[in-house]
């Protein structure tokens, strides 16, 4: 799949399922130390990330969540209500046999896949937090979340990769579409255009966005003299957008042209995840 492709809903469901099940292969032969290695998610080990991946789609599938109340005093990384919601199943699964965690992923994937296949492609569904959305948007959002967590696992176990997978492409499409929202939040002058040059590996692309100066953004076509131009790798763009790293932690320096103040603030505000 290429960044410019427009996959159908059935194709997106295939990508979602493959991304959800990726830890089944990736984590099949991990050592105990790798299962308990820190991931890129604060407070979560690799095993915690795998438990979380299963939990959200299990919740959407209507499967029962654990009746569990964590000891919140031991979990300082939980900072808000979204964090408390996601932590319940993660904490309940701590100490589980790794084989059971992977079996749960397979179970959830099978149940949820059957449900998604039964829906019309234009169905209205509920998001993980109960808001109505389209089936396409839900599957895209779930794929992005799952792919980001697969990258968390990869970082924890020292298995860098996956930057060019179909899940990565869907995630890039989600991230790049949010650029106009981030750009419009920075009080750039009306008509100001930003250009991101994404240099790979895995995905190479140009992303353009503009703002009307009143908090509304739009996708832009190329212009000869953008207000800001940033050149950065795809891993850095992804990890910044997922809130996994800061501007000081990129793999390679971000090349910035144009308005340095706006560009610096944009890099600092790229994160779009809770």
What values do phi and psi take at 185, rounded to 5?
-85, -5
Task: Output the pLDDT for position 235.
Answer: 98
What is the 3-state secondary structure of 248-264?
Answer: HHCCCCCEEEECHHHHH
CB 209 within 8 A of CB 193: yes
- Evaluate the CA torsion angle 90, 92, 98, 102 in order and state its sign: negative
* Beta-strand runs (E) in 173-248: 193-199, 204-211, 217-219, 228-232
**138/124 Cα distance (integer angstroms):** 9
DSSP annotation string for 96-138: --HHHHHHHHHHHHHHHHHHHHTS-TT-EEE-TTS-EEEHHHH
**35/171 Cα distance (integer angstroms):** 25
Task: Output the pLDDT for position 214.
Answer: 83
CB 210 within 8 A of CB 193: yes
For each of the chain's 274 residues, which pLDDT tens digit applies? 999 999 999 999 999 999 999 999 999 999 999 999 999 999 999 999 999 999 999 999 999 999 999 999 999 999 999 999 999 999 999 999 999 999 999 999 999 999 999 999 999 999 988 899 999 999 999 999 999 999 999 999 999 999 999 999 999 999 999 999 999 999 889 999 999 999 999 999 999 999 998 888 998 999 999 999 999 999 999 999 999 999 999 999 999 999 999 999 999 999 998 7
Task: Output the pLDDT for position 274.
Answer: 77
**Nearest-CA neighbor of 201 among 245, 244, 252, 241?**
252
Task: Output the pLDDT for position 213.
Answer: 85
Assigned token pair, 88: 């319940």
Q: Which helix (H) or strand (E) holds 164?
A: none
**92/75 Cα distance (integer angstroms):** 13
Q: What SS3 class is residue 76?
A: coil
**Nearest-CA neighbor of 143 among 158, 122, 162?**
162
Task: Output the pLDDT for position 167.
Answer: 98
**Domains assigned to the chain:** 9-160 (1.20.120.450), 178-268 (3.30.1050.10)
**135/127 Cα distance (integer angstroms):** 9
């Amino acid at each position: 799949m290429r960044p410019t492709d427009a996959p159908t809903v059935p194709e997106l469901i295939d990508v979602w399922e493959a991304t959800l099940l990726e830890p089944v292969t990736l984590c099949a032969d991990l050592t105990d130390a790798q299962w308990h290695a820190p991931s890129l998610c604060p407070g979560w080990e690799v095993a915690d990330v795998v438990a979380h991946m299963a939990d959200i789609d299990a919740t959407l599938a209507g499967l029962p969540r654990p009746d569990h109340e964590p000891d919140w005093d031991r979990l300082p990384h939980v900072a808000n209500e979204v964090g408390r919601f996601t932590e319940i199943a993660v904490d309940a699964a701590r100490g589980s046999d790794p084989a059971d965690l992977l079996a749960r992923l397979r179970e959830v994937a099978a149940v949820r896949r059957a449900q998604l296949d039964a829906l019309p492609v234009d169905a209205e569904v509920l998001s993980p937090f109960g808001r109505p959305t389209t089936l396409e948007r839900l599957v895209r959002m779930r794929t992005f979340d799952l792919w980001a967590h697969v990258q968390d696992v990869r970082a924890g176990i020292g298995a860098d990769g996956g930057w060019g997978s179909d899940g990565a492409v869907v995630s890039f499409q989600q991230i790049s579409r949010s650029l106009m929202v981030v750009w419009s939040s920075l009080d750039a002058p009306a008509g100001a255009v930003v250009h991101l040059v994404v240099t790979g590996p895995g995905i190479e692309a140009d992303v353009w966005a503009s703002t009307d100066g009143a908090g509304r953004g739009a996708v832009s076509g190329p212009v000869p003299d953008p207000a800001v131009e940033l050149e950065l790798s795809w891993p850095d763009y992804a990890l910044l957008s997922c809130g996994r790293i800061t501007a000081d932690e990129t793999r390679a320096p971000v090349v910035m042209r144009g308005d340095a103040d706006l560009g610096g603030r944009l890099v600092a505000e790229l994160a779009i995840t809770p």
